[in-house]
Structure 1
Amino acid sequence: MKAVAGMVAGVDQAARAQFGWINLLKAGAAQLIVLHHLAFYGPMSDYVQPLWPDLLAWLGSNARIAVQVFLVIGGFLVAKSLSPAGRPGIVSPMQAVWRRYAKLAPPFLAATLLAAIITPVAGIWMTHDSMSGAVTLGQLSAHALLLHGVLGYESLSAGAWYVAIDFQLYMLTVLLLWLGGRLAGKRRLGWLMPLAVTLGILFSLLYFNLDAGWDNWAPYFFGSYGLGLMAWWASDPARKPGAMTMLMAMAAVPVLLALAVDYRSRIALALVTACALFLFGRARTPSHGRAWNVINALGRISYAVFLVHFPVSLLVNALFTSYMPLEPEWQALGMLAAWGASLAAGAAFYRWVEVPLGRAVQSLMGRAGARVVSA
């Protein structure tokens, strides 16, 4: 942990207070996702099974629902960015969508290319059903457009689906805000967007989320994402306590109804996360202190870890199962090594790929905007 914090500390030395509780949720969820994939995909975990059967069974089956934390946080932060007060309307919707794509896609594509390179390298030592086949140009193009799931292409990395869904959910939110603005016109309909999102949560959880055939599309996940939107609006300190309570009730009632119809632990976790964000999501925490330094560092690199951990884990799997004894203790050491290597690779990717790419894209967008203004 100290090593990861040290690697990232040089990237962002901002002394201002941060949303530490959000970073804590992101950091914890990211670790569970890494451990889930290590337990689920093997082959190291196959050899470790006799040593930690219950733990690996839980990680392999249940830990994946930690992605709900990212979905709720995503909605929470998008509400903060696009509509802090929950009012309808949005300025330049297409520009907002483009900015989101420019933020998500470049590091995602870089990580996809990394996976495309590392997978065949790991294949030199290992054959396993978790490894994707030979990469095609169409497959890479679909990943670059964030359409791989929709078009039926095999994902090159275990977390690739989430990036595409995040982008879809963002576009859906922009669309709702734009339609709300068109409907409201010059009227200040402060209830319109919370009502629209509440209906979206209801339809998502009672229809789309009950059919796995929709799991490549945003409506399947909007129930969790919408809870994040509502948690930001409900936690607005400018609102009266009664209005806060009403907004959280509007979000919670559809979820409780959906859980009564068909209980899903992932949706229950999304509701708990939304409640935590409602209570603590806006709270600022110190940016100094050893514990918060580690938490904030892990929170900052969580997207990078999410992107690169799978190919790194594949490579460690291949090396350990080829060159180390196939005994539970040795392969357990390999799983821990893969976990640590994923964190280190995520920190390096954040510092030397994600941040520079973000700066380059912002610079290009700024120049393009300046040309448009001057024209």
Structure 2
Amino acid sequence: MSSPLPIPLLEAPRPVDAEPSSVRLASNSPREVGSIARRMTLVDGLRGFAALAVVLPHAVGLFIFAGSGALSEWMVRVADFGHRGVEVFFALSGFVIAFSLRHTRLSPRGIGQFILRRSLRLDPPYWVALGLFCGYLLLRAAMTGKPAELPSAPHLLSHLLYLQDVLGYGQLNIAFWTLCIEFQFYLAFAVLLGCAQALSRWSGRDGVLTMFFSVLFVVSLAWPMGLVEMRSHQPHMMYLPSHVFIFLAGALTWWTLEGRLPRAVWYAFVLGLWGLFLWKLDSRVFVTAATSSILYAAGRSHRLYTWLAARPLQYLGRISYSIYLVHVPLCMLLLAVKVRIAPPSDLVSLAFLGVCYAASIAAAHVLYTWVEAPCLEWTKRLKR
């Protein structure tokens, strides 16, 4: 089991991947209003950066060998920061999911439709990635002459339903735990949002919804503040509560740009995050504060549709979920090949890292084109 990555986005997520970022900002700016078909280039660009970041921690074994030089030692240190790409996916998921549900009345039927769309969006690529990882296990067994450690039927079924941690089976692919966290968050967020909507209608006050989630955000900071220490043998209990504040920071940022949450409240929350980072030096808090600040600054300056619009970043953002799904077995396979055929060298390790990135992007392109893109079209049709 990997630590928070130390890792699925979104959906991450994704991070991890959220709804397609073809959104418009509910503001008075003529540059932002009336552009429902436009994509938030900033969101996709940040996903592109995060997708590149999360590959490095799983490829860092390329740089661990006897007699490694300064370059390899530096890469090992840098790789640790790649874990934080997961938090970027989580914050973006909260931001875009809050947008996608802004006009949705979340009755039990509405919640069911939302989860169905999420499943159609996320499940087929994930299932293909599970099959690919099992193929990697068979290939590894053929290369080593050892028996293939294939999952049992219940273990595989638990993965198909995002329940492997809940049921105690553990992960086939160390990156998949974040997919469980993402899906649990989607379900919990939709249910809580539906309850907040009902409470708002009952009380006749529009501010109940944002107040409800603002309180939840403050409470969820108990973990990074160290006020509550989670000790559990269940990974989902250890990881989900400690990441809730990241999703909620993204959602609160959207609601502030939308005008539902007073800006003064958002400023208080983000300043609190920056202060918490300076106190605890928790990198998750830093990434949450930075991502929320960038999204808010872009929204206020009408740059959500122009920042990070370079085509390579937009392309990486679109295939980021597929990159996340396929990169781990490719990294493991290339590491095994390097150990067998290549001399220990900093430059050789760097070359293999380049091959790892190229292979991950190529495989992700195929998965996106043949599986993920059709799933996106299905979810659009279902929403219509």
Q: Distance in 2 between matches of 1:286 and 1:226?
A: 25
Note if 1:194 corresponds to 2:215.
no
Q: Distance in 1 between matches of 2:315 and 2:73?
A: 30
Query: Alpha carbons of 1:68 and 1:88: their partners in 2 closer, same or farther (altered >3 Å)?
Result: same
Correspondence for 1:300:
318
2:269 pairs, out of 232, 247, 251, with 251
Correspondence for 1:37:
58
CA contact (8 A) 2:106 2:190 kept: no
1:361, distance to aligned residue in structure 2 (A): 7.1
1:249, distance to aligned residue in structure 2 (A): 2.8
Q: Distance in 1 between matches of 2:320 and 2:218?
A: 30
Correspondence for 2:140:
122
1:210, distance to aligned residue in structure 2 (A): 4.3
The residue correspondences of 1:225-374 to structure 2 (distance < 5 A) are: 225-236=247-258, 244-252=262-270, 255-256=273-274, 258-259=276-277, 262-280=280-298, 283-285=303-305, 292-359=310-377
1:59, distance to aligned residue in structure 2 (A): 3.2
Note if 1:184 corresponds to 2:200.
yes
Correspondence for 1:101:
119
1:105, distance to aligned residue in structure 2 (A): 1.6
Correspondence for 1:74:
93
CA contact (8 A) 1:88 1:190 kept: no
One-letter code aligned to 2:96 = L
Partner-residue secondary structure (3-state), 1:235: helix
Q: Which runs of 5+ in 1 are unaligned?
A: 1-15, 370-375
Partner-residue secondary structure (3-state), 2:64: helix
1:156 pairs, out of 163, 172, 185, with 172
Correspondence for 1:10:
none
The residue correspondences of 1:205-216 to structure 2 (distance < 5 A) are: 205-207=221-223, 210-211=229-230, 213=232, 216=236
Q: Distance in 1 between matches of 2:58 and 2:217?
A: 28
1:88, distance to aligned residue in structure 2 (A): 8.4
CA contact (8 A) 2:68 2:345 kept: no
Q: Deviations over 1:70-101 (max 9, x none)?
A: 0100000000011269x987861122122212
Correspondence for 2:32:
none
Deviates more, 1:259-268 or 1:332-341: 259-268
Query: Alpha carbons of 1:149 and 1:250: their partners in 2 closer, same or farther (altered >3 Å)?
Result: farther
Query: Alpha carbons of 1:332 and 1:253: their partners in 2 closer, same or farther (altered >3 Å)?
Result: closer
Q: Distance in 1 between matches of 2:131 and 2:194?
A: 35
CA contact (8 A) 2:120 2:378 kept: no
Q: Distance in 2 between matches of 1:127 and 1:295?
A: 41
CA contact (8 A) 1:206 1:258 kept: no
Q: TM-score normalized by structure 2?
A: 0.78
Partner-residue secondary structure (3-state), 1:62: helix
Q: Deviations over 1:88-134 (max 9, x none)?
A: 87861122122212221221111111111113313444699xxx943
1:184, distance to aligned residue in structure 2 (A): 2.4
Partner-residue secondary structure (3-state), 1:216: helix
Query: Alpha carbons of 1:301 and 1:279: their partners in 2 closer, same or farther (altered >3 Å)?
Result: same
One-letter code aligned to 2:303 = A
Q: Distance in 2 between matches of 1:206 and 1:173?
A: 19
1:63 pairs, out of 70, 82, 91, with 82
| Cα RMSD, aligned residues only | 3.2
CA contact (8 A) 2:43 2:304 kept: no
Query: Alpha carbons of 1:204 and 1:353: their partners in 2 closer, same or farther (altered >3 Å)?
Result: same
Query: Alpha carbons of 1:126 and 1:57: their partners in 2 closer, same or farther (altered >3 Å)?
Result: farther
One-letter code aligned to 2:190 = V
1:348, distance to aligned residue in structure 2 (A): 1.3
Q: Distance in 1 between matches of 2:235 and 2:107?
A: 28
Q: Distance in 2 between matches of 1:24 and 1:103?
A: 20
1:257, distance to aligned residue in structure 2 (A): 6.4
Correspondence for 1:166:
182
Partner-residue secondary structure (3-state), 1:108: helix
1:178, distance to aligned residue in structure 2 (A): 1.4
Q: TM-score normalized by structure 1?
A: 0.80
Q: Distance in 1 between matches of 2:166 and 2:139?
A: 28
CA contact (8 A) 1:17 1:284 kept: no
One-letter code aligned to 1:312 = L
Q: In the comparison of the two structures, how many residue pairs are matched?
A: 339
Correspondence for 2:10:
none
One-letter code aligned to 1:174 = A
Query: Alpha carbons of 1:154 and 1:133: their partners in 2 closer, same or farther (altered >3 Å)?
Result: farther
1:137, distance to aligned residue in structure 2 (A): 1.2
CA contact (8 A) 1:26 1:299 kept: yes
